[in-house]
Amino acid sequence: MGGGRRPRNTEERILKTIAIVLILLGSGLLVMSLFPAREIVRQVHQKNRAAWQLLGALIILFLAGYVVYGGYLLRHPAAVHDVIAATIMLGGGIFVAGVVAATRRSIVLVRELAEKERFRALHDELTGLPNRMLLQDRLDHAILMAKRMREPMAVVFMDLDRFKEINDTLGHHYGDYLLQEVAARFRGAVRATDTLARLGGDEFAVILPGVDTVQAAKVAMKLAAALDRPFSVEGHSLSVGVSAGIAVYPEHGDDSELLMQRADVAMYVAKRNDIVYALYHPDEDQSSVNRLILVGQLREAIAGSGLLLHYQPKISLRDGSLCGVEALIRWQHQSRGLIPPDEFIPIAEQAGLIRPLSHWVIDHALAQNASWRRHGYRMPVSVNLSVKNLQDTNFPDVLFDLLNRWNASPDDLVLEITESTMMTDPARVQHVLDRLVRAGLKLSIDDYGTGYSSLAYLRRFPALEIKIDKSFVLDMITNEDNAVIVRSTIDMIHTIGRQVVAEGVEDDATLARLEELGCDCLQGYHICRPLPAEEIEKWLATTSWQVKRLSSPHSCDRK
């Protein structure tokens, strides 16, 4: 008998087990559709107490269900078929509901993701401001509105001043932080209805609906004033300025591209003239295009060929000896011929090319100096530095590397810095100069008399020599005022124990007068014009000035 019951028992047990599994599956799906398992796990991970409690309650519910339902089925095996049918239907229903709910959730998620993606495509990640693409779109819209309302509208382009130096010297971390702070200040200076955008780098733009040229100029001043207060970044007090260019609809154009291009042109005008803002003017267009072409060509010349150095001798009036040569840069342009430095140095400074340009000059000047040393001539070479070099805290390291490369001693190089250089950002400049002077480099203060430095201030600078600007020397024979200035300058400089160099000596009478006044050194066309190195060598062979010869090829180590 017992043997007859066994198969039925086994079948019932299998049915019961299937029933229980289905019931649990169905309940599981129900719970998951109510509260996604992933969310529970996430909450549990985040140690959320409510989630723990919910998880506990669910486990207890499952266990209780299992015990009660399982017990009931074990006691009433006949009900198994009905339970299976009911469970399949219930489970199926719940499953479908679950799938529908999950699909809806995925659709919401995909939509959210697409929304985020769209935001990212139209905004700048660093500042959260609209980017160039969104600006263009908003500008199109603003022009349409302005047309319909018969109102003006303005677009202002802005480029930060001094940002590149901060970014280059202190690093991107500071640069990024500063850009975020600048964006916040700009945002506070414009209305909520204006679109402020970051175009990339340190360039921003703002669209001003309903605004004419006069009002746009006021907004530009307000934006500049927003940067007046220095920024405090990790203990550093940093200050940046802004140059703004304004183009207005309908005067300067009626499509977005033209307005943006013209605001950009105006911005360059502001930058070049060192003013806060400039309104677009058609005359500037061509010069700005030429300038952009020139910047590109200059960059290529620094990296390739086209730049050259001329050298101008400097002689000592004490013993008639040659004290050195000044390296003066020239640019041999493909179509424009020889361009003088006064025309392209300011462009290099504005376009951020002065660092590579100065490195090129120092490298080539030291190469030439090494070649002269090999031929037995001791000719220290003076190079002209820009204020940007002295604000660059890396500059001394670059310079030391170049001295090492050419096996040059600090005595082989003189650094000419203008009087005005010393006055800009004196603390920073002083720090860089201190490092150079400690390494034994000699400084020469150029264009003396054209700036505002006091003698007390000069005394603090460890300069070897001071060069009186040629504007006082050129006509000192005929212009008594200038003669007085030259005489008193020589006396003053001697009282602080420095040497005086007079530049711009064009004739014998000036030379004789300077000798009388006790000037130490001379430079000028009367002695020799700036010449290419080969011609300087010819001059050395024929001149009556005394050229110092080295007893053996010079190879000093840096002190």
Chain contacts with Ca ion (rule: CB under 5 A): 384, 416, 446-447
Cβ distance to Ca ion smaller for residue 262 or 470: 470
380: preceding bond cis by omega (within 30 degrees): no
What is the nearest approach in angstroms of ligand C2E to the Cβ of residue 360? 9
Residue 340 contacts which entry, Ca ion, ligand C2E, none (Cβ below 5-8 A, type-dependent):
ligand C2E
Alpha helices per DSSP H over 35-171: 37-45, 49-75, 80-122, 132-149, 163-170
Among 51, 129, 244, 328, binds ligand C2E (CB under 6 A): 328
Task: Take residue 263 and report the two structure tokens written for it.
Answer: 């605001």
The residue among 547, 82, 37, 515 whose CA lies nearest residue 321 is 547
Please identify, among the stretches 131-139, 180-188, 372-380, 382-390, the one whose residues bind ligand C2E according to the rule CB under 6 A: 382-390
If you search the block for the tokens 């002190």, which residue do you land on? Answer: 559
Rg (CA), the chain: 39
Cross-strand pairs, 499: 465
- 49-75 and 2-34 helices cross at what angle (nearest 10)? 150
Pairing mode of beta strands 413-418, 442-448: parallel
Helix (H, G, I), strand (E, B) or coil at 222: helix
Among 36, 70, 341, 532, binds ligand C2E (CB under 6 A): 341
Q: 273-312 mask for ligand C2E (x: CB under 6 A)?
A: ---------------------------------------x
Task: Take residue 495 and report the two structure tokens written for it.
Answer: 């009282």
By CB under 6 A, tell whether 340 contacts ligand C2E.
Answer: yes
Cβ distance to ligand C2E smaller for residue 161 or 503: 503
By CB under 6 A, tell whether 530 contacts ligand C2E.
Answer: yes
What is the nearest approach in angstroms of Ca ion to the Cβ of residue 339? 18
Cβ distance to Ca ion smaller for residue 209 or 313: 313
CB 34 within 8 A of CB 100: no
- 37-45 and 49-75 helices cross at what angle (nearest 10)? 130
Task: Take residue 463 and report the two structure tokens written for it.
Answer: 């300069």
Cross-strand pairs, 310: 328
Cβ distance to Ca ion smaller for residue 267 or 500: 500
CB 502 within 8 A of CB 494: no
By CB under 6 A, tell whether 346 contacts ligand C2E.
Answer: no
Among 345, 408, 490, 540, binds ligand C2E (CB under 6 A): 345
By CB under 6 A, tell whether 506 contacts ligand C2E.
Answer: yes
Near ligand C2E in 384-423, by CB under 6 A = 384-386, 416
Residue 525 contacts which entry, Ca ion, ligand C2E, none (Cβ below 5-8 A, type-dependent):
ligand C2E
Helix (H, G, I), strand (E, B) or coil at 447: strand
What is the nearest approach in angstroms of ligand C2E to the Cβ of residue 536? 13
What is the nearest approach in angstroms of Ca ion to the Cβ of residue 341? 10
| CA gap 485, 450 in Å, rounded | 12
Cβ distance to ligand C2E smaller for residue 127 or 489: 489
Q: Please give the residue ranges that form the binding site for ligand C2E (CB under 6 A).
A: 312, 328-329, 340-342, 345, 361, 384-386, 416, 446-447, 470, 503-506, 523-525, 530
